[in-house]
Amino acid sequence: MTSARAYPPSQFVILVHGGAGDVPAERRALHAEGCLRAAEAGAAVLKSGGAALDAVEAAVRVLEDDPLFNAGTGACLNEDGLIELDASIMDGTGRAGAVAAMPPFKNAISIARAALEDGRHVMYAAHGAARFAMQKGFERATVEALRTDAAFQRWKELRDGRASEKGWAGGTVGAVARDLHGHVAAATSTGGMMDKAAGRVGDSPLIGAGNFADDATGACSTTGHGEAFIRTVFAARARVDSLAADLERMTARTAGRGGAIFVAPDGSAAWARNTASMSYALVSDTTAESGS
Ligand code: GLY
């Protein structure tokens, strides 16, 4: 069930994903539209000569604010019914910032960006991440503010055995971009897995696993079974011209499935998934398209 698509080089390009999984067919257009709104927000930055790093942050904020997706508003709930957020951001020069198992904040990606700019450490976790965020002026959110009815219903169904993880329609979000100056960047944000253990950290905040950027090789953001992407150090090893094969190798090794997006230094791009669906959108100087 692997699907993949490749795009030729562009002056600037942003590619976003709204999560790999099994979104019901009748809802896929909505997810694709949400991705397109996010890609357009990032493309507006790139068009005016802005940095790939600013573009991926802007795109991921749009997806975090969209209740359809499993990040920010709409994030999934852990076994205690609480929200623990994972996010990371990296630019092609090697600067990176990340937060893991962080209590609720509206836009985890901007807290990861604050860590990148601060430069003292790359990653902050749990209450230390919340403390760092508040020191940087971010306002803490309540679980109720970020919890959607859909996420809560799904969590209750899983807790009382009326549903399995299969079919959960939410998704980790991510963006990769190449700017007019030839720099790349990647950003990934998620609530993780529905009903996950408290303290579980997935691939999304881990540089090299769920997110990676290097001006020499390109930028990658992943979605799907986090443990599989961690075990294969996926994002740092993936390449634009082998993305589908990279995913297949991961699945053969770990049995985990998912999807990935990639932008290369020359502005070529690709996405691949080996799940039933993965919403995405690409906007470049020549193309705008979305799908799921
Ligand atoms: N890929 C997202 C997660 O497993 O948390």
Residue 112 lies in a domain: no
What's the mean per-residue pLDDT of the chain? 96
Nearest CA to ligand 1 atom 5: 192
Predicted pLDDT at 75? 97
Ligand 1 geometric centre to CA of 49 (Å): 32
Residue 89 lies in a domain: yes
First to last CA, the chain: 14
Asked whether residue 30 carries a pLDDT value surpassing 80, the answer given is yes
CA gap 133, 107 in Å, rounded: 10
Residue 249 lies in a domain: yes
Name the domain count of the chain: 1
Predicted pLDDT at 98? 99
Q: Can 172 be counted among the known catalytic residues?
A: yes
Mean pLDDT, range 5-18, rounded to an integer:
98
Total-model pTM: 0.97
Query: Is residue 108 a contact partner of residue 119, using CB atoms and an 8 Å limit?
Result: no
Query: Token pair of 160, please?
Result: 């009382």
Least Cα distance to 220 among 231, 235, 241 occurs for 235
The pLDDT tens digits for 154-190 are 999 988 887 766 445 458 999 999 999 999 999 999 9
Predicted pLDDT at 290? 98
Mean pLDDT, range 139-153, rounded to an integer:
96
Predicted pLDDT at 104? 98
pLDDT classification of 1: cutoffs 50, 70, 90: confident
Predicted pLDDT at 170? 56
From the centroid of its chain, how far is CA 223?
6
The pLDDT tens digits for 182-214 are 999 999 999 999 999 999 999 999 999 999 999
Question: Which ligand 1 atom is nearest residue 210's CA?
Answer: 1
Residue 88 lies in a domain: yes
Asked whether residue 228 carries a pLDDT value surpassing 50, the answer given is yes
The pLDDT tens digits for 103-124 are 999 999 999 999 999 999 999 9
Residue 116 lies in a domain: no
Residue 281 lies in a domain: yes
User: How large a percentage of the chain has pLDDT more than 70?
Assistant: 98
Of 69, 85, 204, the one to substitute when testing ligand 1's pocket (max ligand atoms within 8 A of C-beta) is 204
Asked whether residue 94 carries a pLDDT value surpassing 90, the answer given is yes
At residue 198, what is the residue type?
A
Residue 79 lies in a domain: yes
What is the domain-level CATH number for residue 49? 3.60.20.30
Mean pLDDT, range 240-261, rounded to an integer:
97
Of 88, 193, 232, the one to substitute when testing ligand 1's pocket (max ligand atoms within 8 A of C-beta) is 193
Residue 191 lies in a domain: yes
Asked whether residue 241 carries a pLDDT value surpassing 50, the answer given is yes
Point out the catalytic residue in the list 73, 93, 142, 172: 172
Predicted pLDDT at 167? 44
Q: Which domain holds residue 175?
A: 3-94+146-291
Longest dimension (CA), the chain: 52
Ligand 1 geometric centre to CA of 9 (Å): 29
From the centroid of its chain, how far is CA 175?
6
Half-sphere exposure for 86 (CA within 13 Å, toward CB): 31
